[in-house]
Amino acid sequence: MKPLAAAAACVAVFAIGSQILSACGDKFLLVGRGVRFNHAYAAVHPASILIVLPPKSVKSAAVRDARLLTALKMAGHRVDVVEQPANLTEALGRSRHDIVLAERADAPAVRAAEGAGGDVKPSIVGVLEDPSSAALTAARSEMDYVLKTPDSLANILNLLDDVMQARRH
């Protein structure tokens, strides 16, 4: 009986004192410990992006979303923000931008101001918030690319990667 009690005591001590050993990467599979997409995402083609903010009278602009600016920077893009219309020509002439994110109403001002820039024109991505099909069709004819919001940050980052890939080819 004594050997059985000693064996049971040894098993109990080892069971209480042992720790779970996880193999390479298994600890990331535990609930809540995975890497979030927006923290792990890195842009395939980092871009220089200019975000054109509409005048302060426009309160609900999709480009004013602080999460968008943070996600773009975390993905590796260089982001500049400019108020419309005062500093737009200066910002486009000062440095080269690959992509300009602007509300649809600001797209004509961006087209007029981009003549002050260099030889390479930026791709204009028009941001539309809950557009109708007619507004979406009209926007696609006016701008290079159209971003419908609300949309997930992952889809926005993927669209910007597609824009940069098209610019490189």
How far is the C-alpha of 46 from the C-alpha of 49, rounded, in Å? 9
Residue recorded with tokens 């609900």 = 60
Whole-prediction pTM value? 0.69
The correct answer on CATH 3.40.50.2300 for the domain covering 37-168 is: yes
Domain boundaries, the chain: 37-168
How many other CB atoms are found less than 10 A from the CB of residue 137? 11
Is the pLDDT at 38 greater than 70, yes or no?
Answer: no
For residue range 156-169, list pLDDT tens digits in order: 888 899 999 988 87
For residue range 75-105, list pLDDT tens digits in order: 889 998 888 766 777 777 777 888 988 888 7
Do residues 49 and 99 make contact, with C-beta atoms less than 8 angstroms apart?
A: yes
**Does the CA dihedral 80-110-146-104 come out positive or negative?**
positive
For residue range 53-77, list pLDDT tens digits in order: 877 656 556 677 778 888 888 888 9
With CA atoms as reference, report the closest residue to 45 among 77, 13, 22, 17: 77
Calculate the average pLDDT of the chain. 78
How far is the C-alpha of 108 from the C-alpha of 94, rounded, in Å? 19
